Amino acid sequence: MFETIMYETRAGVAWITLNRPEKLNAFTSVMHKEMLSALKMAGKDEEVRAVVITGAGRAFCSGQDLGGSENPDYGEVLRQGYNPMVQALVSIEKPVIAAVNGVAAGAGMSLALACDFRVASDKASFIEAFIHVGLVPDSGNLYFLPRLVGHAKAMELAVLGEKVTAEQAKEFGLVTKVVSDATFVQEVETFAVRLANMPTKAIGLIKRYMNKSWESDLTEVLEYEALAQKTAGGTVDHKEGVTAFMEKRKPVFTGK
Ligand code: T3D
């Protein structure tokens, strides 16, 4: 179905694998289009309750394909390719995990930053590679990086462009957890399935309003919480959670 990515679903999880391993999964315009389609599919599919994005081969993603410019207007490359993908990642009301199997460089690092969780292999690394080719961080990087690691660390990473190991990234809060490369896929699967079995609508609401909170004052956030809680309070999963608690059993959430 796709040329540059793979898409499969199992156990409530959509797996999107960037699939240009010979170029360390560098982005092309086709890949942008395919990523957008895959994210839309995952968003619409009611069976899908978590999304994993990972890379084929030894890399997660090396950012923009530098081997021959498809469009010399980089602003348009961002507006047409990267930005809709980042918006889709943020607006999909399901948890999205970047399973960072290897190097994440340039816009590949931005892709990981725009996800809700980053699970990294102990072989993974992160590089703000933009500066090495005289460019600036893009694809939401300037938005997410300082929010995740603080302004000072973000400046250091973006300007120096030094390679950061998964363990170092964990220390300053960039990754959720680091797991052994030997058990990476199983660990990601366990984490993704765990999320897929949680109250999906509540997770979607947390994501929506936590993102909005960055541009909101306290009064607005208090109102968002009231709106979200009204919606969450009407879900089947809320009812199940309370019933299970009263019956002293584990809840079985259906994402409804
Ligand atoms: O339109 C616009 O350009 C604006 C948007 C910009 C967004 C961006 O992402 S700008 C930043 C672009 N990315 C980079 O600058 C990273 C370039 N890659 C690297 O710095 C290194 O490859 C890595 C640090 C990621 C990994 O290094 P290493 O030593 O593990 O691998 P390698 O030998 O450099 O790469 C392996 C192959 O992948 C190699 O091809 P070859 O020689 O075996 O035929 C290399 O050329 C290719 N490759 C790696 N990254 C890219 C790439 N080919 C095209 N584009 C790449 N980004």
**Residue 173 pLDDT:** 96
> Is residue 64 in contact with ligand 1, taking CB distance under 6 Å?
yes
Q: How close is the Cα of 16 to the center of ligand 1, in Å?
A: 21
Q: How close is the Cα of 129 to the center of ligand 1, in Å?
A: 9
Q: If you take atom 37 of ligand 1, which residue's CA is the nearest one?
A: 23
Q: What is the CATH number of the domain that holds 215?
A: 1.10.12.10
16 & 85 share domain: yes
How far is Cα 19 from Cα 5, in angstroms, rounded to an integer?
5
191 & 207 share domain: no
253 within some domain:
no
Q: If you take atom 45 of ligand 1, which residue's CA is the nearest one?
A: 23
235 within some domain:
yes
How far is Cα 180 from Cα 182, in angstroms, rounded to an integer?
5
211 & 163 share domain: no
22 & 58 share domain: yes
Q: CB–CB of 208/227 below 8 Å?
A: no
Q: What is the CATH number of the domain that holds 43?
A: 3.90.226.10
Residues paired with residue 16 on neighbouring β-strands, in sequence order: 7, 53
How far is Cα 118 from Cα 116, in angstroms, rounded to an integer?
7
172 & 241 share domain: no
42 & 152 share domain: yes
- The two tokens of residue 26 are 């560098």
**Residue 69 pLDDT:** 76
Phi, psi of 16 (to 5 degrees): -110, 120
52 & 138 share domain: yes
186 within some domain:
yes
**Best residue for ligand 1 mutational test, from 4, 62, 64, 128 (most atoms within 8 Å of Cβ):** 62
- To 10 degrees, what angle do helices 141-149 and 107-114 make? 60
Which atom of ligand 1 approaches the CA of 110 most closely? 9
70 within some domain:
yes
What's the predicted TM-score (pTM) here? 0.98
125 & 228 share domain: no
**Residue 1 pLDDT:** 87
Domain with 210 in it = 200-246
175 & 121 share domain: yes
Stretches where the chain sits below pLDDT 70 are none
26 & 99 share domain: yes
Strands, E assignment, the chain: 5-10, 13-18, 50-55, 59-61, 96-100, 103-105, 117-121, 125-127, 164-165, 177-179
162 & 214 share domain: no
Complex ipTM > 0.90: yes
For tokens 């765990």, the residue is: 194
46 within some domain:
yes
How far is Cα 76 from Cα 166, in angstroms, rounded to an integer?
32
191 & 206 share domain: no
Per the structure, the count of domains in the chain is 2
255 within some domain:
no
Q: If you take atom 56 of ligand 1, which residue's CA is the nearest one?
A: 65
Q: If you take atom 24 of ligand 1, which residue's CA is the nearest one?
A: 105
Q: How close is the Cα of 146 to the center of ligand 1, in Å?
A: 24
